Amino acid sequence: MNSRVEKLDARLDKATDATDPAPMEVAPLENLEKGRWERSWPTIACGAGLFSDGYLNGVIGPVNTILGTLYKDAYNNSPASQNVSAITFAGTVLGQLVFGYLSDHWSRKWSLMISTIILFIFAALSAGSYGYHGSQYGMFAALTAYRFCLGIGIGGEYPAGSVAAAENTGELKKGHRNRWFIMFTNFQIDLAYVVSALVPMILVLIFTEDHLRAVWRVALGLGVIPPLSLLYLRLKLSEPEEFKRERMHKFPVWLIVKFYWKRLTVVSLIWFIYDFSTYSFNIYSSKWIAIILGDDYPLWKSFGWTTVTNAFYIPGSILGAFASDWIGPRNTLALGVGLQGVVGFIMSGCYEWLATAKNVAAFVVVFGIFSGLGEFGPGDNIGLCAAKSSATAIRGQYYAIAAATGKIGAFVGTYVIPIAQKNAPNAIRAGQDPFFISSSLCIFSAVLAFFLLPQIEQVCAPFSSLTDQK
């Protein structure tokens, strides 16, 4: 066993730059002489950009509903009604893979800066989408193209921002690191989803339903604020200390694949299942609630109920952040997603009773609990598992592959859920079937997590330590 470790260490030594100084004994990251704010703000600056992901992905649900109301069959019966929502995920996958490579081979900081600028530019362009000579179909095509480019910027936030946030938590107090990572990554997404439903509701009340064109453009335009607010902080960032210590300049690809393919496959599959349910359900939740309420209810009430539903993410995410430190990310993930599957099956069985206007509050509560458990488990912890189950030098690419697989799941979900509903024999089954599908996948995900995910420590294990498990 020792000879295998020595050989692996020798291979890794060759992967570093020959001009690097001889290794010296260095202090643990938590012992660096830094104040509390100095240790904390890099984690905040790196991770909080995921608020943009949550808002810009979440707001397209209400915007989709508004566009369908405004342009009716011209929008609802065109590919744009799905493409506008789903194309962002395609861009996100591309962005994750590109920025994952750049963050390992070039720079965490500057990869993050580029993604921030892309977010700002294309959030603004999305709000100003316009078709040639006022063409509606041209406007839909422009919005689709801008949303794809926006997705590339969102994708950069994952391997560059989340990975840098995970590395910066190494300087924080042991026993609190997981919650810090979660509070400035997944919690930001969840908070943004609440805001992304609340903002259209307020805008409809301000502009009224006679001026819905202003509502959807302003709602998208406000997406420029999150990336713009972080630009200065990110400009002041330096590379994470852990990355500076452990980065590689040559990568032993076969060695990396040999020791990581199994855990990367498990992490990626769980992320695929989580995003399949979460993003597709969120995009269509405002439509479902509008259908349940009926045509007599004003649009702002539909968005208001969506806001209440999304608000269940917040307690789920906060509890999951603390549980991750108390019982570990693997156990928290398995517990949360297992309970989510159980609640989903209950909701499927009760759907006929829940899907009525008089019981819309009960629908929102049960659906909210279903969603909140998803955040308690995989929402909070799958990114943490991806960030802390690989060596620092390859973490950006490892995380990017797992996150990209998740977004492929989201992309697939936005197409599969409507197909399942259209092929249902009646309206009740159209509401039940998505929950049957999602709940079955949740139970499968819980089994995967509990039996196949590794235990995640507060700090990442060195690359060579993996051989001890062989």
| Listed residue (383, 405, 382, 386) closest to 394, CA to CA | 386
pTM summary value: 0.83
What is the pLDDT of the chain when averaged over all its residues?
Answer: 83
Q: Which residues have a Cβ under 8 Å from the Cβ of 135 and sit 6 or more positions away?
A: none
Of the listed ranges 137-141, 157-161, 451-455, the one predicted with least confidence: 157-161
Distance CA 466, CA 461 (A): 8
Secondary structure of residue 137 in the 3-state scheme: helix
Task: Write out pLDDT tens, residues 211-226.
Answer: 999 999 999 999 999 8
The Cβ of residue 27 has, within 10 Å, a number of other Cβ atoms equal to 8
Nearest-5° Cα angle at 261, 337 to 404: 60
- For domain 32-469, give the CATH number: 1.20.1250.20
Give the distance, in angstroms, between the CA of residue 163 and the centroid of all CA atoms in the same chain.
Answer: 13
Alpha-carbon distances, residue 49 vs 7, 147, 159, 194, 234 (angstroms) = 40, 17, 12, 16, 10
Confidence of residue 34 (pLDDT cuts 50, 70, 90): low
Distance CA 390, CA 396 (A): 9
Count of helix runs (H) and strand runs (E) in the chain: 22, 0
Average pLDDT over residues 153-177: 82
The Cβ of residue 133 has, within 10 Å, a number of other Cβ atoms equal to 6
- What does the block give as tokens for 10? 């020798």
pLDDT at position 217: 96
pLDDT over 80 (residue 65): yes
pLDDT at position 246: 75
Give the distance, in angstroms, between the CA of residue 427 and the centroid of all CA atoms in the same chain.
Answer: 31
Alpha-carbon distances, residue 306 vs 199, 266, 360 (angstroms) = 11, 32, 11
Alpha-carbon distances, residue 371 vs 187, 306, 458 (angstroms) = 13, 12, 27
Task: Write out pLDDT tens, residues 368-385.
Answer: 899 999 999 999 999 999
Exposure of 9 by Cβ count < 10 A (0-12 exposed, 13-18 middle, 19+ buried)? middle
**Side chain identity at 24, as an amino acid letter?**
M
The answer to whether the CB of 434 falls within 8 A of the CB of 281 is yes
What is the residue whose two structure tokens read 């290794």? 23
**Side chain identity at 88, as an amino acid letter?**
T
**Side chain identity at 284, as an amino acid letter?**
Y
Distance CA 75, CA 136 (A): 9
Task: Write out pLDDT tens, residues 249-304.
Answer: 777 788 888 888 999 999 999 999 999 988 777 656 666 676 667 667 788 988 88
Distance CA 221, CA 285 (A): 22
Radius of gyration of the chain (CA): 22
The answer to whether the CB of 121 falls within 8 A of the CB of 425 is no
The answer to whether the CB of 194 falls within 8 A of the CB of 175 is no
Q: Which stretch, 66-80, 157-171, 314-328, has highest mean pLDDT?
A: 314-328
pLDDT at position 6: 44
